[in-house]
Amino acid sequence: MWALFQEKPFDAITVQELLDRAGVARSTFYSYFRDKNDLFVSDLDEFLERIATVLVGRADAGDRVVPVRELFGHVGESRKLYVTFVASGRIHEFFDLSRAHFTRGIEARLAELPRGAKLTHQQRTALAHAFAGALVSLLSWWIDGGCVMTPAAMDELFHAMVWSAVGT
């Protein structure tokens, strides 16, 4: 779907084109998805869930609460897809889903890190919401600005902001 989405506007893509590209029968498609919108949201949701929680439960990940470097690297390589999201009016779905997934991932990650575990549950929840919003805002700013800073530099910037706000 994502390759097709980069070739033409989302609204111009038919379910038949998706079926042909994937080599899937119509009945199989409709047993899993209501329509192409459902497929789009399902795929996006699955990707964001994976990346938002990749650091949770990993003792070797240091003090990072979000894999910013990996996220920005992936989005930077798929910049054409981002432009397509904007042109189709679907970028807000991406941002809304991103905020929701990253809020949960950041909250879980803060709870398991020594510096974040000192916060109350309410503080972690509030900060997770704020940090997820900041992450989405930084991602938008970074792409709109031509991806000048490296993903690693964006990772450092984001996490400096996180730990400065946490204050521990």
Q: What is the pLDDT of residues 62-75, one digit of tens each?
A: 889 999 999 999 88
Percent of the chain scoring above 90 in pLDDT: 42
pLDDT tens figures, 11-62: 788 888 888 888 889 899 898 888 887 887 788 888 888 888 888 877 666 8
* 127-168 pLDDT per residue, tens: 999 999 999 999 999 988 999 999 999 999 999 999 999 985
Q: Are 86 and 95 in contact (CB under 8 A)?
A: no
Residue 6, domain extent: 2-166
pLDDT at residue 89, as a whole number = 78
**What is the CA 94 to chain-centroid distance, rounded?**
7
CA distances from 47 to 30, 61, 76, 124 (A): 21, 20, 15, 24
Q: What is the pLDDT of residue 74?
A: 87
Which uninterrupted H or E stretch holds 79?
A: helix 79-88
- Helix, strand, coil shares, percent, the chain, to 5: 75, 0, 25
Q: Which CATH number fits the domain that encloses residue 118?
A: 1.10.357.10
Q: How many domains does the chain have?
A: 1
| Entry pTM | 0.82
The residue among 88 and 110 whose pLDDT is bigger is: 110
N-to-C CA span, the chain: 44
Q: 111: which residues sit within 8 A by CB, 6+ positions away? A: 117, 124
Question: Which tokens in the block code for residue 103?
Answer: 């809020």
